[in-house]
Amino acid sequence: MKKTLCIDVGGTGIKAALVSPEGELLSERIKISTPYPCPPERLLDTFKEIAATFESFDQVTVGFPGLVRNGVVSHVPALSRSTYGGKTDKNLQNQWRGFSLEIASKEIFSAPTLVANDADVQGAAVVNGHGFEFVMTLGTGVGTALFNDGHLLPHLELSHARFRNRESFDIQLGNAARKQIGNARWSKRVLKAIEAFDSFLYFDQIHIGGGNAEFLRDMELPKNARIVSNVAGLLGGVRLWNLESK
């Protein structure tokens, strides 16, 4: 049985677990606090810890909180900050931009490795494969992914578009904003954001995940919206390989 080591890199924590081809957890999930500052070398050191914890696996998937194309990092908001929720550090930003994370990770794990945006990975686990589907993850920031009839579309950083008060979806719906205005106001703001996204995406279904999605469970969501398990950030790591092979 092929075992996939699935890693979900978040702004506050890095989770990892072994997953079966059927998407079932084969191990306990481990979580390591995301180190700050976190240049590429420091994240790779964390990957070495994870590799030592899980001795046997056949392939690896890394969900990364930023724009990744062909395994190369183009932009990463969270890890470009020297402290959690702090301002962007130009030096860190420059270290990450153009970094070949997939190649570097493959060398550490000594196994076939895929690195993709974390929302893309989560979406791979939750989409139903019919029509135009939008995935939105709510955590430290906001992640987005697009699927058409089950096919993953090229990643776009849609959350960095302007939403309200001259600020982006990412800032207005991020964890710092939730803490500042409270869960009730923040939840209503998320509903307005869903309407705003739908006004130009015209999605058939929206899947809402991430650690902060739980604060929406008492809200009346649109009929084409559903909240998905945060475990999908790991389970999608298996299905992503199937999508890549198509």
Tell me, what's the pLDDT at 244?
A: 67
Tell me whether the CATH fold assigned to 4-120+234-244 matches the one assigned to 128-228: yes
Is pLDDT at 245 greater than 60 in this prediction?
no
Residue 2 banded pLDDT, cuts 50, 70, 90: very high
Tell me, what's the pLDDT at 246?
A: 54
Superfamily for the 128-228 domain: ATPase, nucleotide binding domain (3.30.420.40)
In eight-state DSSP terms, residue 23 is S
- What is the pLDDT averaged over residues 14-42? 95
What is the second-level CATH architecture of the domain 4-120+234-244? 2-Layer Sandwich (3.30)
Q: Up-side HSE of residue 62: CA atoms within 13 Å toward CB?
A: 32
Is pLDDT at 232 greater than 90 in this prediction?
no
For 223, residues 6+ apart whose C-beta sits below 8 A from its C-beta are: none
Show me where the domains of the chain are located: 4-120+234-244, 128-228
- What is the pLDDT averaged over residues 62-87? 93
Tell me, what's the pLDDT at 18?
A: 96
Q: What is the pTM of this model?
A: 0.92
Question: Which range among 62-71, 158-167, 233-242 shows the weakest confidence by mean pLDDT?
Answer: 233-242
Residues 143-196: tens digit of each pLDDT:
999 999 999 999 999 999 999 999 999 999 999 999 999 999 999 999 999 999
Tell me, what's the pLDDT at 128?
A: 94
Strands 113-117 and 59-64: parallel
- What is the pLDDT averaged over residues 226-242? 89
Residue-by-residue DSSP string for 53-77: H----SEEEEEESSEEETTEEEE-S
Structure tokens at 241: 């390989």
